[in-house]
Amino acid sequence: MRRLALLPAFVALAGCGLAISPPASAGSPAPAQRFPAALGLPAMEVPADNPITPAKVALGRKLFLDRRLSPNGTMSCAMCHVPEQGFTAHELATSVGIGGRSVRRNAPTVLNVAWQQRLFHDGREVSLEDQVWGPLLAANEMGNPSIGYVIERIGTLEDYRGLFEAAFDGRGPSAARLGAALASYQRTLVAGDSRFDRWRFGGEASALSAVEQAGFELFAGKGRCATCHRVGQREALFTDHGFHNTGIGWHRSLGTPERTRVELAPGVYTELDRRTIASFSEPPANDVGRYEITLDPKDRWAYKTPSLRNVALTAPYMHDGSLPSLEAVVGFYDRGGIDNPEKSALIAPLGLTASERAALVAFLRALTGSAVAALAADARGVAPPAAR
């Protein structure tokens, strides 16, 4: 089974520029790691108390894909963050957890998650090492009753024997070490070096078509997208790390619409009335966004600005997955979002023409990183597509 250039002394992710060094020698201090990243991304800062090592990455990858981390053996991180689907899930507007339970929000991608200042749509966590315990313990996600239950379960699995000890200097499974391993793996999911990066930051004039270049001009100008999805002179994370009310959360709080469009199969849709949906579905859970964390009324229905990197791979869109395509997203913002008392003052009607909307979508499709397919293949333990 081939891993993506997993070597005894370091891990190098093809196309990502991320090299993982062995741990410091015994007795030496643990300096913070700083890795050069892919074209278009800033250097990655790694916490000094959790340096990335090959053993941690391998363990974190195994944990990420392991359904046995849920009580009935059905759910893993990769069930909602599907490697082949841009590390998100295309089929569902909002995720489905253990036993088919409904989850309030869409699963965001974990590509480039190392640069996220806050995690989850409401920003309730700030550390990759800590965030995993949210979904592991949520009754409607992975459904574990306690931290101790998870750690004890891992201790009974023969194929984990010695893996934590190898990754953590002889120490066995614990809550902190499980989080550290998963964080280490997720920090290797680096997906930059898009065609846009090669055009803007790499000096490759032909990397974008004329339509895509026009789309970027709209993105930075008339479309006002770069106000929140920021682009710098030497790098671009395509986010302001802030929280904004676009109106979608407010509108959803009004209740289930009279009729809802439902996808029965890829490309096959029908409409169901409210009563039919209520007969087999849980009622929509209340969701007021960032307000749940800050209790500041100004934060009602505000959600984190996502990065737009690899956005063509991560449909459906918005915190509730209510917009099925990039065309729908551009149309939504062109209309000025949905008016409500707390709507962001940054969002207003744009007056785009049909050709301008199409150019914006073309530009967004140029933000896919060069290493995505290789990262998906590595997650499954198979040869990258180009190596087959």
* pLDDT at 234 > cutoff 80: yes
Q: How confident is the model at residue 29 (pLDDT cuts 50, 70, 90)?
A: very low
* pLDDT at 260 > cutoff 80: no
pLDDT in tens, 208-231: 999 999 999 999 999 999 999 999
pLDDT in tens, 312-345: 999 999 999 999 999 999 999 999 999 999 999 9
Q: What is the mean pLDDT of the chain?
A: 89
Q: Which 3-state string (H, E, C) describes the chain?
A: CCCCCECCCCEEECCCCEEECCCCCCCCCCCCEEECCCCCCCCEEECCCCCCCHHHHHHHHHHHHCHHHCCCCCCCHHHHCEHHHCCECCCCCCCECHHHCECCCCCCCCCCHHHCCCECCCCCECCHHHHCHHHHHCCCCCCCCCHHHHHHHHHCCHHHCCHHHHHCCCCCCCHHHHHHHHHHHHCCCCCCCCHHHHHHCCCCCCCCCHHHHHHHHHHHCCCCHHHCCCCCCCCCCCCCCCEECCCHHHHHCCCCCCEEEEEEECCEEEEEEHHHHHHHCCCCCCCCECHHHHCCHHHCCEEECCCCCCHHHCCCECCCCCECCHHHHHHHHHCCCCCCCCCCCCCCCCCCCHHHHHHHHHHHHHHCCCCHHHHHHHHHCCCCHHHC
- Higher per-residue pLDDT: 23 or 371: 371
Q: How confident is the model at residue 280 (pLDDT cuts 50, 70, 90)?
A: low
- Higher per-residue pLDDT: 131 or 10: 131
* pLDDT at 114 > cutoff 80: yes
Q: How confident is the model at residue 256 (pLDDT cuts 50, 70, 90)?
A: low
pLDDT number for residue 269: 80
